[in-house]
């Protein structure tokens, strides 16, 4: 039997903008999916039972942004009857879940970090989560502790470890509009390959510039109205 109230909580961090954090799908069309999409967290829920237009019974709520910043983010899902509280980093959205039933049957498999197989739940992507979890609780039960002790009700798929390795990243922050980093050019070099990641709240700004060497051309890579543009000169 399902509990009268279901509570799922967890913390995660990742540098990947897309991936499924949680999924469960029942035989009556009821399902719940929690997934990252373009750095935002979406909760897709359907209480099932709608045979004619199942897509109309699905609720899709999105919270947060830039959640792929390799910092810990907390998630709390509270479900009672058809009332749901969805909280991401202390920002809560309350809604009524659609469907004919007033509960999710959690007697069926609940997976974290991916989907056992492509489902019918209309997920935004089928990409598995790549990152770290901690403090996964379902109705007060510590799921990671069960996994660490290799309890029979938990099984693993793929490579996992009970640690969270920090990526070797050395960031740099430009603290003023007059700050920049310069790299001397190399005479005779005809090609250049540059890769970098950036994050800013500004909609305008110069990201990268190259000065022309003699007759060769240069370019500007810049933000304009929140979009990345390039100009050759």
pLDDT at 223: 93
Radius of gyration of the chain (CA): 23
Integer Cα distance of 145 and 148 in angstroms: 5
pLDDT at 58: 77
Q: What does the mean pLDDT of the chain come to? A: 82
Q: What is the pTM of this model?
A: 0.67
pLDDT classification of 194: cutoffs 50, 70, 90: confident
pLDDT classification of 52: cutoffs 50, 70, 90: very low
pLDDT at 74: 97
pLDDT at 1: 38
pLDDT classification of 211: cutoffs 50, 70, 90: confident
Q: What is the SS3 string spanning the chain?
A: CCCCEEEEEEEEECCCCCEEEEEEECCCCCEEEEEEECCEEEEEEECCCCCCCHHHHCEEEEECCCCCCCCCEEEEEEEECCEEEEEECCEEEEEECCCCCCCCCCCCCEEECCCCCCCCCCCCCCCECCCEEEEEEECCEEHHHHHHCCCCCCCCCCCCCCCCCCCCCCCCCCCCCCCCCCCCCCCCCCCCCCCCCCCCCCCCEEEEEECCCCCCCCEEEEEECCEEEEEEC
Q: Which fold has domain 5-148?
A: Jelly Rolls (2.60.120)
pLDDT classification of 24: cutoffs 50, 70, 90: confident
Mean pLDDT calculated for residue range 136-143 = 93
pLDDT at 200: 87
Considering only residues 47 and 218, tell me which one the structure prediction assigns the higher pLDDT.
Answer: 218
Q: What is the dihedral of CA 75, 78, 79, 82, to 10 degrees?
A: -90
Percent of the chain with pLDDT over 70: 79
pLDDT at 127: 86
Integer Cα distance of 51 and 29 in angstroms: 9
pLDDT classification of 107: cutoffs 50, 70, 90: low
- Please report, for the chain, the start and end positions of each structural domain, with discontinuous segments joined by +: 5-148, 172-233
What confidence tens digit (pLDDT) does each residue in 72-99 have? 999 999 988 888 999 999 999 999 876 6
pLDDT at 6: 87
Which range, 17-21, 23-27, 172-176, has the best average confidence (pLDDT)? Answer: 17-21
């Amino acid at each position: 039997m399902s509990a009268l109230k279901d509570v799922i909580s967890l913390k995660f961090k990742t540098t990947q903008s897309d991936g499924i954090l949680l999924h469960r799908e029942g035989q009556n069309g009821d399902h719940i999916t929690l997934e990252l999409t373009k750095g935002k967290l979406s909760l897709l829920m359907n209480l099932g039972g709608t045979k004619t237009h199942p897509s109309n019974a699905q609720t899709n709520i999105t919270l947060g942004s830039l959640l792929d910043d390799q910092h810990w983010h907390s998630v709390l899902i509270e479900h009672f009857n058809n009332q749901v509280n969805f909280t991401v980093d202390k920002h809560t959205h309350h809604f009524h879940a659609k469907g004919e039933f007033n509960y999710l049957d959690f007697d069926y498999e609940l997976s974290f970090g991916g989907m056992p197989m492509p489902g019918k739940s209309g997920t935004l992507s089928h990409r598995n989560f790549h990152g770290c979890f901690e403090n996964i609780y379902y109705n007060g039960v510590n799921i990671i502790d069960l996994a660490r002790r290799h309890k029979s009700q938990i099984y693993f798929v793929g490579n996992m470890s009970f640690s969270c390795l920090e990526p070797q990243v050395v960031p740099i922050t430009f603290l003023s509009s007059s700050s920049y980093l310069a790299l001397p050019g190399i005479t005779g070099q005809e090609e250049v390959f540059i890769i970098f990641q950036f994050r800013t709240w500004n909609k305008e700004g110069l990201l990268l510039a190259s000065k022309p060497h003699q007759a060769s051309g240069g370019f500007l890579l810049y933000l304009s109205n929140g979009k990345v543009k390039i100009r050759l000169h």
